Amino acid sequence: MGECKRIFGSTRRMGLLVLLAVVCAALFFSTLMPTVGPRQVQNALNAGSYGAHLAERLRDVPAQEQSALVQAEIERINNFEWYWDGYPDAVAALGTDENAYASIADVPGLADAARTGDSSTIYWACQALWDVLEDMNAQIDYQAGYAAYLDTVQSQAQMQSQTSLFGVEGSFSRRNLAKTAEEFDGLRGRSVAFGNNRGVEKWLSFRLGDYFHLIAVVMFVMAFLEERKKGLWSTVRAARGGRLRLGLTRLGILCASSVLATALYSALPLILSLAVNGGWGDMGRTLQSLESFKTCTVQITIGQWLGLYFALKIVTGVCVGLLLWCVLGTLANIQFALAVLGTMLAGEYALYTLLPVQSLFNLFKYFNIFSYVHTATLYTEYLNVDLGGWPMGIRALTLGALPVLLVLLAAWALLLARNRRPEGNRDRLGRLALCLNRALDWFRARFSLGAWEVYKSMVFQYGVLVLALVVLAGQNLIYTMGDPSGPSGMYLLYVQDMQGPLDESADEYLAHARQSAADSQNADELNAALDTLEARVTELRARAEEGGYDPWLVLETDYTGTYGPAGRDRQRLNGAVAILFTVFLCAGVGAFERQSGVTGMVRATKRGRGGLLRRKAALAAALAAAVWAVVYMRELWSFAHLYIRPATMVAPVQNIDALADFPLPVTFGQYLALLYVVRLVMLMGVGFTVLFISQRSPNVRTAYITGAGVLGVPALMTALGAEMFKWVSPVVPVASAELMWGLGSGSWRYLLPWAAWLAVSLAALVLLHRAWVGRAGK
C-alpha cells in the first residue's frame, strides 16, 4: 500500500502524466486540421458534425448511388466557395447571396464563415468539408472494390503458385501463398458496410500516442529504481516487505500504470476523435468496413476489435514494462543500465523501422518491442514471416509469444526483487565505464570554460537528446501553405509568367499576350484576364513613381500565404513551438550550479562570475540560434523551395499592396533577411529570459516548469487563439511576420511588441548580471 501511495501519490509523477496526456491530446488534435487555430478547430467540429449526418444519409442509400451523392455534395460546396470568389458560372448559378446561403443552409458553420467576408475563412471552412467528403469517397471506392480485392488475392495466389519461383512444393513461398489464400478465403461473403469511419480511422493513423504510452511505462519502471538512486536500496531490502512482497506490489503497480497509460494516451485520443468527427457510427459492422483493416483476416466487429485492442494495449504495456524493469534491475550500475536500455530501444526501433518488409531478417522487424508498442499494426498489416520454411503470421507470432514472455519476465522480475543484493555484485560494466571515463577525461582536461558549458548542457542535462527531439519535432511543423484568397484562373497564370520589372519588356509581353489571346478559342476569358493584368501594371507603375522605387510585378500570394495575414496562425504556432524549444534547451543552463550546490564555490573563483556568466549567456544565445535554425531556416528553405524566384528578390517590397508604405527602402531579399534576423534576436531574448528564470530556480526541474509556465504556456495559448495571452507572451515578437507585415501599413505601433520584448530581455540580462556577477557587497 505504501509503495502504491509513493508511486501514484507523487504529484510530480502524476502531474507529468497529465501533462503528457495534454500534449498527446493536443498533438492528436493538431492532426485533425491543416493548421492549429480557433477557426480551424471550429471548422473541424463543423465538418465532423456534417460528415456524421451525411454518413447517416448514405448508409440507407444503395452503394451505386452513394458516390453520386457525395459528388453532388462536393459540387454544392465548390459552387458556394466559387460564388464568393466571383467565378462567373457559380455567380450565374446562385445569383444572390441569399440563394448562396440557402444552398448550404444545412451545412454547419459555412454560412457563418461566408458572413465574415474573408475569402480565406470561407476557403478553410470549405476545405474541412472537402476533406470529409474525400474520405467518404475513398470509403465508398474501397467498399465497392473489397469483394474484387478478395477475388484478386485468390487469383494471384492461384497464378503465382503455377510459376516456377513460387511453385516449389514444400518451399516457404508455396506455403505462404496457400496460407494467405486460405485466410483471405475465409473473408469471402463477409459484408463491409458504410458508416461514419472517420473518428476511428483518424485515431488509428495517430501513432504518437503509443510512444506516450511507452514513456509513461518507462516513468513507472524508473520509479521502481528510485531507492537505488537515493541510496536506500539496502534499507528497503532490509525491511520485512522489501523483497518478494515489494516485487509483487510493483507488478500490480505496473499493471495499473498500463491501464492508466492506455486510458490517457489511447482511449482519450479516441474519445477526442469521436467527439470531433461526429461520434461512433455503427460499431457492429465488420472490422473490414474500415479501410485500415483491408488486409486483416480476423472476423470480428469494429466494437469487438476496439475492446480487444484496449485489452491488448494494457497487456503489451505490462510486457514492455516488465522487460525494461528486468533490464534495469539486472544491471547494478544504474547509469549503465540506462545506457543499455537506451541502446536496446534504439536498436529495436532501428530494426522495426529500417528493416524492409521482404528482408530475410524480417522476423526481427516484427518480433520486436515496437510491435508491442504499436499494437494496432498487428491487425492493420498482414504478413507471414519465414520460420524454418513455414509461414507464420506476424500477429500470431507476436501475440502467441505474449503470454510466454509475460510469465518469463514476471518471474525474472520477481526473482530480481527477491534475490538481487544491493552490494557486492560484479560490476563488469563498471570497468568499461572507467575505460570510457579515462578516455573522455583526456579530452575534458583540455576543454576551455566555454566548451565546458556546452558539455554540461549537452551531456549532463541531456541537451543532445532535447536537440534531437527539437530537430525531429521541427520536421512536423507546417511552414508554407499558400494563400487561398489570392487570384486564380488565367490571371494567376499570366502573373506567374510575367513576374519581373515593369519596364519595356513588360509592355512587350502584354502586347504579345494580347496577340496570342486574339487567336485563341477562349479569347474572352484571356482578354478579361489581360485587362485585369494591365490595370494592375498601371497601378503598380503609378504607385512606384509616387513612392520613388522601381515597379515590379510580383505574385503577392507567395508572400501573403507565408508571411502575411493568411499565415498568421501558423506563424504564431511556429513561434510558440520555437519558444518552447528554447525553454527546454536553456532551462538547465543557469540552474545546474544551484542544483549541484556549487554556486558559492564557483562564485569564489576568478572566472566564476563574469567569465562564467558570459559563457552561459553565449550558450543560451547559441541554443536559441539552434532553435531558430531548426524552425526558421527550415521555413525559409521551404519557402524558397516553393516560391522564391531569385530574380524577384531584388524587387522593392513596396510593390506588394500591403507593404506599400513599408518604412524602409528594401528589396524582398533584404526584407526576408531583416525578418529572420529580428526573429533570431527575439529568440535570443527568450534564451536570456529563460537563463534568468533558470538562474533564480533552485533546481533544473523547477526551471523547466517555471520557464514552460511563464513563456511556453502563454505562447501556446496565443497560438491556439486565446488573444489575451499575446500581451504576456513573446510569441508575437518572436514570430515577427505579422509585425513586419503591419509595418507595411506605415504604422509605427507595430514596433512596440519588439521594443517591449527587447526591454524584457535586456532587463533579464541586467538582473542576471546583478545576481550572478554583481558583488554581494556592502
Question: Interface with other proteins by CB under 8 A: which range of 122-130, 454-462, 668-676, 698-706?
Answer: 454-462
Q: Which of 15, 145, 241, 600 touches other proteins (CB under 8 A)?
A: 600
Q: Which of 390, 452, 637, 727 binds other proteins (CB under 8 A)?
A: 452
Tell me the closest approach of the beta carbon of residue 451 to other proteins, in angstroms: 9
Q: Which stretch of DSSP H or E encloses residue 384? A: strand 384-387
User: Would you count residue 604 as binding other proteins (CB under 8 A)?
Assistant: yes
Q: Is 770 in the site for other proteins (CB under 8 A)?
A: no
Q: With binding defined as CB under 8 A, does residue 423 bind other proteins?
A: no
Q: Where are the alpha helices (DSSP H) in 629-667?
A: 634-642
Distance, in Å, from the CA atom of 675 to the CA atom of 317, rounded to the nearest integer, reads 47
Cα separation, 46 vs 444, whole angstroms: 59
- The vertex-396 CA angle with 390 and 397, nearest 5°, equals 65
Asked if 485 contacts 650 with a C-beta cutoff of 8 angstroms, the reply is no
* Amino acid, single-letter form, for residue 645: R
Residue 180 · residue 159 · CB < 8 Å: no
Can you tell me the distance from the alpha carbon of 130 to that of 336, in angstroms, rounded to the nearest whole number?
53
From 609, 634, 645, 696, residue interacting with other proteins (rule: CB under 8 A): 609
Does 428 contact other proteins by CB under 8 A?
A: no
449 forms part of the interface with other proteins (CB under 8 A): yes
Told to check if 701 binds other proteins by CB under 8 A, we report no
Nearest Cα neighbor of 559 from 656, 416, 477, 699 is: 656
599 forms part of the interface with other proteins (CB under 8 A): yes
- The DSSP code sequence of 454-467 is HHIIIIIT-HHHHH
Judged by CB, which is closer to other proteins: 230, or 749?
230
The contact mask relative to other proteins for 318-347 (x = CB under 8 A, - = no) is: -----------------x------------
Helix residue spans in 629-746 (DSSP H): 634-642, 668-696, 700-707, 713-719, 731-735, 737-743
With a CB cutoff of 8 Å and minimum separation 6, the contacts of 333 are 427, 429, 430, 433
Which H, E and C letters describe 299-335, residue by residue? CCEHHHHHHHHHHHHHHHHHHHHHHHHHHHHHCCCHH
Site for other proteins in 532-551 (CB under 8 A): none
Q: Choose among 142, 131, 121: nearest CA to 74.
A: 131
Residue 308 or 773 having the CB closest to other proteins: 773
Backbone CA torsion sign across 621, 622, 627, 632: positive
30 binds other proteins (CB under 8 A): no
Pick the stretch among 25-33, 203-211, 343-351, 609-617 that binds other proteins (CB under 8 A). 609-617
Q: Which of residues 460-519 bind other proteins (CB under 8 A)?
A: 460
Question: Do residues 192 and 285 touch, judged by C-beta distance below 8 A?
Answer: yes
The count of chain residues that interact with other proteins, using the rule CB under 8 A, is 38
- Whole-angstrom Cα distance, residue 261 to residue 8? 13
| Binding flag, residue 776, other proteins (CB under 8 A) | yes
Of the candidates 304, 596, 638, 702, which one interacts with other proteins according to CB under 8 A?
596
User: Using CA of residue 509, residue 511, residue 512, residue 517, what is the dihedral sign?
Assistant: positive
Q: Does 441 bind other proteins (CB under 8 A)?
A: yes
Nearer to other proteins, 1 or 776 (CB): 776
Q: Which of 5, 240, 426, 606 binds other proteins (CB under 8 A)?
A: 606
The H-or-E segment that residue 386 falls in is strand 384-387
- Is 777 a binder of other proteins (CB under 8 A)? yes
Residue 269 lies near other proteins (rule: CB under 8 A): no
The interface region with other proteins, picked from 2-10, 546-554, 601-609, 717-725 by CB under 8 A, is: 601-609
In this chain, which of 116, 205, 605, 745 binds other proteins, going by CB under 8 A?
605
Between 57 and 770, whose beta carbon lies closer to other proteins? Answer: 770
Beta carbon nearer to other proteins, 414 or 612: 612
Binding site for other proteins (CB under 8 A): 335, 433-434, 437-438, 440-441, 444-445, 447-449, 452, 456, 459-460, 592, 596-612, 775-778
